[in-house]
C-alpha cells in the first residue's frame, strides 16, 4: 500500500477536527449554558477552552504553553518522519494506520495552539504573545456518573459531585485510539522478522546429520 494513503488519513483527521472545532466556536455558547445533549445524559457537547494539554490538563508555568506548543511542533515533525521510516522498513499496515491517527491528532491540536490565539483571539489574558498561545477547543463530554454526597459525609454532605469526566476533542480521541491500538497489537506490529524467518528451520547440526545419513544410505 502506498505511503500517501496513511498521510491522507492524517489529513482527514485534521480536516474533521478543525471543522468541528470551528462549528462549535461559531455556533455554541461556552460552558454549561450552551451544553447540548446528544445521547441523553451520557454524551454531550460542551464548549470548553483548554489552555494546556490534552483532556483538560493544564500547566501553571508562565511559559508552559509556549514550551508545550513548541514540543508539539517538534513531535508533529518527528511523527511524520517516523511514518516514512516505518514505511521504508516495511512495517505492518496496521501500525502505519495507527501512526496516521496519531499524526492527524497531533497536527490538529498544534493548529489550535499556534494560530487560534490570533485567528480566534482566544489566548489567555496575560499571555506573552497570542502566537503559540492559542487555547485548544474541546467539546466531547461523556459524564460517567454524577450525584450528591450523602448528608452524613463530613464537610461535603449534600454537595453535588461529578465523577472525573474530561472534555476532549477529535484530535485527542484520534491520538488516544492510535496509541491504544499500538499497545494492544504491539507484538504483531513489532514482530522481529529475523526471528520469524528462522521458525521451523532445522539448525546447522541437524541439517549436517541428515546430509550424512543420506550419503551413507
Catalytic residues, by residue number, are 138, 172
The DSSP code sequence of 178-192 is HHHHHHHTHHHHT--
Q: What are phi and psi of 136, to 5 degrees?
A: -75, 135
Residues in a beta bridge with 140 = 45, 168
Query: All 3 cell numbers of residue 79?
Result: 511523527
Neighbours of 96 (CB within 10 A): 20
- Provide the grid cell at 202: 532445522
Phi-psi region of 40 (alpha: psi -120 to 50; beta: other; left: phi over 0): left
Amino acid at each position: 500500500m502506498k505511503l500517501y494513503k496513511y498521510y491522507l488519513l492524517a489529513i482527514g483527521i485534521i480536516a474533521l477536527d478543525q471543522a468541528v472545532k470551528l462549528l462549535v466556536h461559531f455556533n455554541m455558547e461556552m460552558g454549561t449554558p450552551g451544553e447540548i445533549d446528544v445521547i441523553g445524559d451520557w454524551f454531550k457537547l460542551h464548549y470548553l477552552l483548554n489552555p494546556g494539554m490534552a483532556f483538560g490538563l493544564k500547566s501553571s508555568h508562565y511559559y508552559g504553553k509556549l514550551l508545550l506548543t513548541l514540543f508539539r511542533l517538534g513531535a508533529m515533525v518527528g511523527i511524520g518522519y517516523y511514518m516514512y521510516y516505518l514505511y521504508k522498513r516495511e512495517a505492518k499496515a496496521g501500525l502505519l494506520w495507527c501512526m496516521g491517527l496519531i499524526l492527524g491528532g497531533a497536527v490538529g491540536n498544534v493548529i489550535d495552539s499556534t494560530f487560534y490565539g490570533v485567528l480566534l483571539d482566544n489566548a489567555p489574558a496575560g499571555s506573552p504573545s497570542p502566537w503559540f498561545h492559542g487555547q485548544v477547543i474541546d467539546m466531547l463530554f461523556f459524564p460517567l456518573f454524577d450525584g450528591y454526597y450523602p448528608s452524613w459525609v463530613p464537610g461535603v454532605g449534600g454537595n453535588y459531585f461529578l465523577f472525573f469526566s474530561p472534555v476532549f476533542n477529535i484530535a485527542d480521541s484520534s491520538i488516544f485510539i492510535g496509541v491504544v491500538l499500538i499497545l494492544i497489537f504491539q507484538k504483531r506490529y513489532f514482530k522481529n522478522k529475523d526471528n520469524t524467518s528462522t521458525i521451523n528451520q532445522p539448525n546447522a547440526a541437524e541439517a549436517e546429520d541428515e546430509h550424512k545419513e543420506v550419503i551413507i544410505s
